[in-house]
Amino acid sequence: MTKPSDGHAYSSQDLSQLRRTLTLSEEEWPDAKLHEHTDALVVLIGRVMLVTREEGSKARLQRLDRKLLAPTGKFLDALQNDELAHEYLQDLLPLDETERQEIVEQVSAFKTTVETHMAKIRKSGSKGKTWDSDLKDRFVTYVDWLCEFLNHDVEPKRAIDDGTEDHSQFGKCVYLLARPLKWGQMRGSEVKFDGIIRKHVDEWRQAVQLTIEQLEAERDG
């Protein structure tokens, strides 16, 4: 792995390899221009990494229940308890019954949001997803957007050679651009993306086929 230079995420050698992979002209896409877009990629995925915890769904659900859902539920119960209302609905306090109901509605909405979020985590866990499945999915999608922006002729593809993954143009870009990332306790260069690349390409193909069918249906009217 080459070391980044001049405060950028990728070295000149990395960018040179990216140009070769995407058949880009150095005149049209010099390092300075590629640095701008590849650094933006790292910022985007970095923001997602900041809120992604390296823990299983069970531990994550327990933490959310203990630190968010349970306290929120207790607070909501206290707000709706008429026997406690006289403690804070006094003339000297800046709170009346209307304001209490507004707070109840806001806390209830927050509790519902947490419950919905936890339901999604349970669903993901039941599908056998790892802690970084969604993170990988997001990163591969960002790389797809970048590749298409740099070269409109590039399509996400995967190639199979004797039963093993022979990385396509798109796959090579995913692995190249993952190198400087810190992926939990691992470096990006140590992470495997083959499965998520296959999933992304298959979904992309399905979307293209659906679009073609819709356009043909509109044409045939």
What are 185-214's pLDDT values in tens digits? 767 778 888 888 888 888 888 888 888 888
Quick one: average pLDDT of 164-189? 79
Highest mean pLDDT among 58-62, 101-105, 139-143: 139-143
| pLDDT tens digits, 33-77 | 999 999 999 999 988 888 777 677 788 888 899 999 999 999 999
Structure tokens at 47: 């923001």
Q: One-letter amino acid identity for 79?
A: L
Question: What per-residue string of b and e applies to 22-52 under the rule 16 or more CB within 10 Å gives b?
Answer: bebeeeebebeebbeebeebbeebeeebeeb
pLDDT band at 123 (very low <50, low <70, confident <90, very high): confident
Q: Can you give the pLDDT at residue 93?
A: 58
Quick one: average pLDDT of 161-189? 75
Cα distance between residue 125 and residue 129, in whole Å:
6
- The continuous run of DSSP H or E covering 186 comes out as strand 186-187
Q: Which ranges constitute the DSSP H helices of the chain?
A: 12-22, 31-50, 57-64, 70-80, 82-88, 97-126, 133-150, 169-178, 194-220
pLDDT at 98 over 60: yes
